Structure 1
Amino acid sequence: MSVRVSPNSSRRRIVKASDGTLKVYLNSPAHEGRANQELLKFISKKIGVARSSLKIKRGFKGREKTLLVKGFKASDSKNLIDKLLS
């Protein structure tokens, strides 16, 4: 699952951009991995999986990130996106 992260936001939320990508707004700064940790915690809570089931596959230091959700298949992506946007 690909997301675009926007750290230092006034409130946490997830929106679908006009190009179809998910944009995740986080409170934490992009410093010493704080935003990455908040991203994993926030996403895991939204989709109802353990924090240990999520991993950042690509984009540790950038805003564009690819997340790996253990136990989910590519065919489950629609359900995951629906959960994130609800």
Structure 2
Amino acid sequence: MADWFRRNGEVVTLTLHIQPGAKRSEIAGLHGEALKIRLAAPPVEGRANEALLKFIAELFGVPVRQVELKQGGQSRHKVVAVSGSKIEPESVLKT
């Protein structure tokens, strides 16, 4: 059992470590008990958060409205909830 996500019915809660301002958006593996994601967006005016929600939505094959930032709006450490995805969280590590 991985520490970076929890499943509760239809909702998967992800613990993330974000590195904004990267060359491209990608999964960078695990960072302690969090999934590390590099984001191409700069950490300015919420743009990195918007880009993160879009990136997670694409990864999990759901509309952006089914991805919600739960914690960490101003932090690199974030908690995001994804609802209604059929994709297993473990499988995103293999992309």
- Structure 2 length normalisation: TM-score? 0.76
Higher strand fraction: Structure 1 or Structure 2?
2
2:80 maps to a residue whose letter is L
What does residue 89 of structure 2 align with? 80
2:40 is the counterpart of 1:27: yes
Q: Which runs of 4+ in 1 moved over 3 A?
A: none
Q: How many pairs does the alignment contain?
A: 82
Tell me the C-alpha RMSD between the 2 structures: 2.0
Please identify, of 14-23 and 36-45, the stretch whose mean Cα deviation from structure 2 is larger. Answer: 14-23
Structure 1, unaligned stretches of length 5 or more? none
1:80 maps to a residue whose letter is P
* 1:7-86 superposed matches below 5 A: 7-17=20-30, 19-71=32-84, 79-83=88-92, 85-86=94-95
- The alpha carbon displacement at 1:43 in A equals 0.9
Higher helix fraction: Structure 1 or Structure 2?
1
Structure 2, unaligned stretches of length 5 or more? 1-13
How many Å separate the matches in 2 of 1:62 and 1:15?
A: 18
- The alpha carbon displacement at 1:31 in A equals 0.8
- Structure 1 length normalisation: TM-score? 0.83
Percent identity of equivalent pairs: 32
